[in-house]
């Protein structure tokens, strides 16, 4: 199908039917998928990549991808990041065996953040501390988390 008009300087989007869906774009309420080009120009060539467990929907970690990391992720099917401190690519789990296998990828409305739904391989612990998720710390200013997962009512 022909590409839809894009804002000046912005990425072009192509509409696809649901049975032609690709990991490049989110499903829309009208049952079409919008194909998009990720905008790596806004943050020095990087985009945040949020990783969510495809089964439990828990947020596991956040890393950054550059174009090369995105290309490797798409080619291999395993989440690959760009390390800002080491200035190199790294595939999550390449040494621990706790790889993240891509199940689905979503791109946000500004084309500058990626959400990866992934299957956890190995022992399922994603954090370098050995925890299942990197989100297990609560800032002291917020107090203890609620067991129900619901925030406390404020008056």
Spans of the chain below 70 pLDDT? 1-35, 142-155
Output the CATH code of domain 39-134: 3.10.20.810
User: Looking at residue 136, what is its pLDDT?
Assistant: 82
Among residues 76, 70, 78, 82, the alpha carbon closest in space to that of 111 is found at 70
Is residue 39 packed enough to be buried (19+ CB in 10 Å), middle (13-18) or exposed (0-12)?
middle
> Model-level pTM greater than 0.95?
no
Per-residue pLDDT of 37-70, as tens digits, reads: 899 999 999 999 999 999 999 999 999 999 999 9
- ∠ CA 146-152-155, nearest 5°, is 165
* Distance between CA atoms of residues 77 and 3, nearest Å: 26
Beta-carbon-side half-sphere exposure of residue 65 (alpha carbons within 13 Å): 28
């Amino acid at each position: 199908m022909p590409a839809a008009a894009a804002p000046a300087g912005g990425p072009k989007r192509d509409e696809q039917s649901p049975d032609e869906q690709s990991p490049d774009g989110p499903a829309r309420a009208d049952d079409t998928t919008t194909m998009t080009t990720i905008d790596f120009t806004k943050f020095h060539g990087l985009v945040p990549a949020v990783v969510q467990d495809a089964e439990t929907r828990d947020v596991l970690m956040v890393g950054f991808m550059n174009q090369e990391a995105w290309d490797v992720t798409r080619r291999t099917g395993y989440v690959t990041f760009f390390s800002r401190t080491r200035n190199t690519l790294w595939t999550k789990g390449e040494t621990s065996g706790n790889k993240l296998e891509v199940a689905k990828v979503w791109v946000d409305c500004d084309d500058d953040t990626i959400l990866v739904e992934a299957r956890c391989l190995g022992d399922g612990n994603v954090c370098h501390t050995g925890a299942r998720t990197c989100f297990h710390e609560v800032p002291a200013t917020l107090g203890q988390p609620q067991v129900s997962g619901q925030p406390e009512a404020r008056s």
